[in-house]
Amino acid sequence: MKFENILIETKDKISTITINRPNKLNALNILTIKELHNALEALSSDNSCKVVVITGSGTKAFVAGADISEFYKFSKQEGYQLSQDGQTNLFDFIENYSKPVIAAINGYALGGGLELAMACHIRIASKNTLMGLPEVSLGVTPGYGGTQRLAQLIGKGRAMELILSANMINAERGEKLGLTNHTTTQDELIQFTYELARKMTTNSSTAIAASIKCINSNFKDGENGYITEINEFSNCFQSEDFIEGTNAFIEKRKAKFK
Ligand code: COA
């Protein structure tokens, strides 16, 4: 598959997708969103990939937002389509992805950039990172799930403050608020991210997929996360990974999942 705005590399069961528009601070235009969707779709059935890492190219930005130059003349209808297509094809798609997706935030994560990071399952940020949802300073609301996911991650009051002020926060503050999981130096970001990803590659893919489903279930209208958990838990029983994982424990050896 050929891409214009992203790079993909898979090594040791970890696939890294790099958003590659450094001259535009990796701003998310419609083509980039489409390419990210297509890449993730392909990786979802690729057995050489167990974890996905998303990062930005260059040293300045993860993603500095949706591409303002692309949407600034859009009509209401086009704005609706932009938000709906983006949410469905990328942001919700990542949140519900069956393999862990980790955002390695290597600089500015603004607007759609922070929304992309928030759709990922885990966020690790380098110290040069500045994060925020500055949309109201442009006369618009966040449109890629930011009003919902930010409140889920850091609480309603803090989400209100960050969105209504359009302020940016640094990585340390982001970690304190629970927006990011870890903070590293710029040099250590990718190595640190890979170490966490590597640990995940040793675990059962089917149990990981089921766990992601259970955790997300708590945030879905009309779903009862506890019931989802009972179903997913019981579905694991006598699966190939369950047999290998539990037998390895009994036999005092390390599990080897396929
Ligand atoms: N959409 C489109 N282009 C963007 C962009 C975005 N969200 N963010 C940055 N760019 C482009 C700039 O227009 C500039 O392009 P040019 O060189 O062709 O003029 C290039 O990326 C570099 O950005 P620049 O503003 O010169 O860098 P800076 O270091 O002075 O400032 C930021 C960095 C992140 C503070 C600034 O680019 C910015 O405020 N970006 C928009 C952030 C935003 O509002 N995001 C939410 C969008 S909904």
Residue to substitute in 19, 21, 24 for testing ligand 1 pocket (most ligand atoms within 8 angstroms of CB): 24
Q: How far apart are CA 52 and CA 245, in angstroms?
A: 23
Q: Whose CA is nearest to atom 16 of ligand 1?
A: 24
pLDDT of residue 23: 97
Give me Rg for the CA atoms of the chain. 19
| Series of mean pLDDT values for 10-residue runs along the chain (258 residues) | 96 98 98 98 98 98 98 98 98 98 98 98 98 98 98 98 98 98 98 98 98 97 97 97 98 96
Q: Which long-range contacts (CB under 8 A, 24 or more apart) does 68-74 make?
A: 68/27, 68/138, 69/27, 70/29, 70/30
- H or E element in which residue 196 lies: helix 189-201
pLDDT of residue 109: 98
Atom of ligand 1 nearest to the CA of 111: 46
pLDDT of residue 250: 98
Query: Rounded to the nearest whole angstrom, what is the distance from the C-alpha of residue 128 to the centroid of ligand 1?
Result: 16
Query: Rounded to the nearest whole angstrom, what is the distance from the C-alpha of residue 110 to the centroid of ligand 1?
Result: 10
Closest by CA position to 113, among listed 144, 138, 82: 144
Q: What is the DSSP string of 51-108?
A: EEEEEESSSSEEE--B-HHHHTT--HHHHHHHHHHHIIIIIHHHHT-SS-EEEEE-SE
Residues with catalytic function: 115, 135
| Beta-bridge partners for 132 | 110
pLDDT of residue 258: 86
Backbone angles phi, psi at 9, to 5 degrees: -140, 135
Query: Rounded to the nearest whole angstrom, what is the distance from the C-alpha of residue 229 to the centroid of ligand 1?
Result: 43
Closest by CA position to 197, among listed 13, 4, 7: 13
Provide residues with CB under 6 Å of ligand 1: 24-25, 27, 64-69, 108, 110-112, 134-135, 138
Query: Rounded to the nearest whole angstrom, what is the distance from the C-alpha of residue 118 to the centroid of ligand 1?
Result: 20
Single pTM value for the model:
0.98
Task: Scan for tokens 């766990």, then name that residue.
Answer: 211
Q: Whose CA is nearest to atom 18 of ligand 1?
A: 24
Closest by CA position to 85, among listed 149, 34, 35, 136: 34
Atom of ligand 1 nearest to the CA of 138: 44
